[in-house]
């Protein structure tokens, strides 16, 4: 039984390719092999706090909604595309096309909103992904001919390679009580 365990351990251990040098009057050379493993990693940096003021002029001049956009950097070394998974988490909305909600500071009422995510620095409302709380979506940081980020600040990709848009529809703004509505969104990136 011990012999079988010793044989299994010997098989599981990699063979050493290191060599010793010989005794010499001039020089001696030894060699060793190197093995470096880089595991998949992700990082998100540079998110901006968003603030919107919705008033009569805003509603009169927009196309049905008011939005604010944050551009930021996502690093992923999972593959050549910089693939990663993302979820945006926050207070649940009304479930009627507005997955997220904000809470009024004075009234305690809720203002519902949407979140769009696009895996490129310049937000594209047509190609963006409509997010829902706690639902992961697969993204890549080479979208729209961007270079894959090769550092944590996306300096080779212009400093930003992803964008997020929060939108409050006019119907929700008009139905809301006058108040300051606040909340927090958590943007979670993960290895695929």
Give me the CATH number covering residue 131. 2.60.40
Separation of alpha carbons 42 and 187, rounded Å: 12
Kindly list the distances between the CA atom of residue 33 and the CA atoms of 14, 21, 28, in Å, as whole numbers in the listed order. Answer: 11, 15, 17
Inside any domain, residue 79: yes
Number of domains in the chain: 1
Inside any domain, residue 86: yes
The residue range of the domain holding 176 is: 42-190
The string of pLDDT tens digits covering residues 106-125 is: 999 999 999 999 999 999 99
Inside any domain, residue 134: yes
Inside any domain, residue 164: yes
> Which pLDDT value is given to residue 96?
81
The string of pLDDT tens digits covering residues 13-70 is: 566 789 999 999 999 999 999 999 999 999 999 999 999 999 999 999 999 999 999 9
Inside any domain, residue 3: no
Inside any domain, residue 9: no
Which whole number is the average pLDDT over 78-87? Answer: 97
Helix, strand and coil content of the chain, in percent to the nearest 5, comes to 15, 30, 55
Inside any domain, residue 12: no
Does the pLDDT at position 1 exceed 70?
no
Inside any domain, residue 10: no
> Which pLDDT value is given to residue 16?
76
Confidence of residue 4 (pLDDT cuts 50, 70, 90): low
Does the pLDDT at position 2 exceed 60?
no
The string of pLDDT tens digits covering residues 126-158 is: 999 999 999 999 999 999 999 999 999 999 988
Give one DSSP letter per residue of 72-123, joined into a string. EEEEE-SSTT-EEEEEEE--B--SSS--EEEEETTT--EEEEEEEEESSSS-
């Amino acid at each position: 039984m011990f012999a079988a365990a010793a044989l299994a351990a010997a098989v599981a251990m990699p063979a050493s390719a290191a060599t010793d040098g010989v005794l010499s009057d001039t020089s001696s050379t030894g060699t060793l092999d190197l093995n470096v493993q880089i595991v998949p990693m992700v990082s998100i940096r540079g998110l901006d706090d968003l603030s919107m003021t919705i008033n009569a002029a805003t509603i009169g001049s927009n196309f049905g909604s008011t939005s604010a956009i944050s551009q930021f950097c996502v690093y992923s070394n999972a593959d050549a595309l910089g693939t990663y998974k993302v979820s945006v988490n926050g207070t649940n909305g009304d479930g009627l096309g507005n997955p997220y909600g904000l809470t009024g500071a004075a009234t305690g009422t809720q203002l519902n909103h949407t979140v769009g995510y696009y895996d490129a620095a310049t937000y594209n409302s047509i190609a963006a992904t409509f997010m829902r709380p706690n639902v992961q979506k697969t993204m890549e940081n080479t979208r729209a001919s961007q270079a894959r980020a090769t550092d944590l600040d996306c300096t080779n990709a212009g400093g930003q390679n992803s964008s997020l848009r929060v939108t409050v529809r006019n119907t929700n703004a008009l139905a809301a009580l006058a108040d300051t509505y606040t909340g927090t969104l958590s943007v979670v990136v993960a290895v695929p």
